Amino acid sequence: MARPYSDDLRRKLLEAHDLGKGTLAELADQFGVSLSWAWKISSAQKRTGSTERKLYRPGPKVRQRIEQAGAELLYLPPYSPDLNPIEKAWSKLKQQLRSAKANEPKP
């Protein structure tokens, strides 16, 4: 699953667009995000007036059905690369690749 963009990035991109610093396409490229994501947050801001992500929490009906099934609803903490073992593995692999490239003879 892709890591969500920060609320700060959302705010900065939309502020730049509101100030006329470029089109959404130009700003998406400048901020390193997809144009579809920029359109999505721009539309959401126009619709709701907010740039912040909404946290999903199941409603009472969902919670009730889960409990009726004899299960317990546990909430996960926000994503943290420090708690994700695959992030550490990728970090180590990238470090080894950089090291191997640095040791490569120059043409």
CATH code at 9?
Answer: 1.10.10.10
Q: How does residue 30 score in pLDDT terms, banded at 50, 70 and 90?
A: very high
Question: Is there a domain that residue 31 lies in?
Answer: yes
Sign, Cα dihedral of 78, 94, 2, 24: positive
Domain containing residue 17: 1-73
The answer to whether residue 8 is domain-embedded is yes
**pTM flag (> 0.85):** no
Kindly state whether residue 21 falls inside one of the protein's structural domains: yes
Q: Is residue 91 part of a domain?
A: no
Query: Rounded CA gap, 14 and 21, in Å?
Result: 10
Please report whether residue 79 resides in a domain. Answer: no
Assigned domain for 100 exists: no
Greater model confidence, 106 or 91:
91
Q: Which of 3, 19, 1, 6 is nearest to 52 (CA)?
A: 6
Overall domain count for the chain:
1
